[in-house]
Structure 1
Amino acid sequence: MTSTPLCYRLSPTGLSLFVRVTPNAGRDGIDGVEIRDDGTAVLRVRVKAVPDKGKATAAVIVVLAKALGVPKSAISVTSGDTARLKTLAVMGDGPALVAKLAAL
């Protein structure tokens, strides 16, 4: 039995979340987990914001903060600042954040 890849990794301060951003979308929202061709998993996030001077990244943080019930200041970009594929650090109770992710 193979396990499904996860779009996150627990850390001592919360979790690292792997996301794929679709900027310029018709709506802001979370489309769920996508398994990529290389077998990794990412959380698909759509935002209306344009990919200009960090506007889309800021919008992604707002969408995720609302969905996970954490303040925007608890989420930071650890890699992929200007790329579609990003790694975000989410501060908080890791298991509780995972439960909220699973409910999305």
Structure 2
Amino acid sequence: MTFYRWQAEDLVLFVRVQPRASRAGIVSVHGDRLKVKITSAPVDGQANADLCKLFAKVFGIAKSQIILQSGQTSREKCLLIKSPKKLPDFITDYGKIHGSS
């Protein structure tokens, strides 16, 4: 299994979140998850909101186009990215190396 899959024109991402990091960003692929650091604490949904904000910027879409499908209170989450406008290098490069599209 890979850290993402296509569902028609939507992208499903499997991520592992590290809250309270010194800097926010996408770190690496860790097993079958994309490791992401978030600066906020997992309190009152703030880490989830910041995660959606980060991916909205990365994929060039509105925050409303990102749906947290599972993992609301877990570090391991499943996100649905509705019709991403651009694909970041971590998707295109991984697809080239591993034969995914």
Q: Same fold (TM over 0.5)?
A: yes
CA distance in 1, matches of 2:53, 2:14: 16
Query: Which residue identity lines up with residue 101 of structure 1 in the other structure?
Result: I
User: Which of 49, 64, 69 is the matching residue for 2:55?
Assistant: 64
Equivalence for 1:101: 91
Query: Do the aligned residues in 2 keep the contact of 1:68 with 1:100 (CA within 8 Å)?
Result: no
Equivalence for 2:6: 10
Equivalence for 2:97: none
Q: How many residues align?
A: 94
RMSD: 2.2
* Gaps in structure 1 of 5+ consecutive residues: 36-40
CA distance in 2, matches of 1:29, 1:103: 17
* Gaps in structure 2 of 5+ consecutive residues: 95-101
* Greater relative contact order structure (CA < 8 Å, 6+ sep): 1
Q: Does 1:49 align with 2:45?
A: no
Equivalence for 1:24: 20
TM-superposed deviation, 1:102 = 3.0
| Large movers: runs of 4+ above 3 Å | 96-100
Structure 1 counterpart SS, 2:58: helix
Q: Does 1:88 align with 2:84?
A: no
Give CA-to-partner distance per residue, 1:51-90, whole Å, 9 cap, x none. Answer: 0011001111111111111111110100111100000010
Q: Does 1:33 align with 2:29?
A: yes
CA distance in 1, matches of 2:90, 2:21: 24
**Which TM-score applies when normalising by structure 2?**
0.81
- Seq. identity, %: 35
Query: Do the aligned residues in 1 keep the contact of 2:15 with 2:77 (CA within 8 Å)?
Result: yes
